[in-house]
């Protein structure tokens, strides 16, 4: 019986102790927040910060913290090398937001023309000699006079119809040089 009394006293003491601790915890101004309940979340973008708002598990207090912006992830989308007539550019695209940015190849215009002789036109009695140059790097072309026409006509009469006693003949003058146009 004595053991039962001691057990009852110990049990009563424990109950009083637990009740007093619980009462002290409820009436105390000191509270350690446990922010684990998510209220809202906005994901960050390339250019804007995001945030997450949490609520304490045991009270209505909330806490909002910033999630830093993630920045662009630019990859090369198109590449336009410099030509003789234009600056080259590189086009980059963000894999997250599809924003495009361009970057020049450099300050100076691309590359000089790389001319080759595409066609040569010999001079005639009527026209100067010309060389047509085209660029290997672009679609540009130039025509340059390489020889002024100094060829004189060497005309001869070509008779189409001989004159007769009753009819006139006719014909024309033709240049005998092989370079006459």
**Looking at residue 47, what is its pLDDT?**
93
Per-residue pLDDT tens for 141-170?
Answer: 888 887 766 667 667 777 778 888 888 888
Per-residue pLDDT tens for 96-126?
Answer: 999 999 988 766 566 788 889 989 888 777 7
**Looking at residue 30, what is its pLDDT?**
75
**Looking at residue 5, what is its pLDDT?**
67
**Looking at residue 85, what is its pLDDT?**
77
**Looking at residue 70, what is its pLDDT?**
94
Residues in Cβ contact with 1 at an 8 Å cutoff, skipping those fewer than 6 apart: none
- Percent pLDDT > 70 in the chain is 73
Residue 56 vs residue 160, higher pLDDT: 56
CA 49 to chain centre: 25
The CA-CA-CA angle for residues 42, 45, 47, to 5°, reads 125
Tell me the DSSP string of 156-171: EEEEEE---SSS--EE
Is a pLDDT exceeding 80 seen at residue 10? no
**Looking at residue 149, what is its pLDDT?**
62
What the block records as the tokens of 1 is: 């019986």
What Å distances lie between residue 22 and 17, 35, 46, CA to CA?
9, 21, 49
Nearest to 104 by CA among 118, 116, 87, 117: 87
């Amino acid at each position: 019986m004595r053991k039962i009394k001691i057990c009852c006293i110990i049990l009563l003491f424990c109950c009083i102790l637990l009740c007093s601790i619980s009462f002290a915890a409820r009436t105390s101004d000191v509270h350690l927040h446990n922010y684990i309940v998510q209220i809202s979340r906005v994901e960050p973008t390339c250019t804007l910060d995001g945030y997450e708002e949490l609520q304490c598990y045991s009270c209505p207090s909330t806490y909002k913290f910033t999630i830093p912006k993630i920045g662009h992830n630019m990859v090369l989308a198109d590449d336009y090398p410099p030509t003789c007539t234009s600056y080259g550019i590189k086009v980059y695209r963000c894999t997250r937001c599809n924003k495009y940015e361009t970057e020049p190849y450099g300050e100076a215009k691309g590359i000089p023309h790389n001319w080759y002789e595409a066609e040569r036109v010999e001079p005639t009695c009527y026209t100067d000699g010309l060389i047509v140059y085209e660029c290997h790097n672009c679609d540009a072309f130039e025509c340059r006079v390489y020889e002024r026409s100094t060829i004189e006509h060497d005309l001869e009469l070509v008779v189409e119809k001989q004159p007769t006693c009753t009819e006139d003949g006719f014909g024309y003058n033709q240049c005998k040089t092989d370079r006459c146009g």
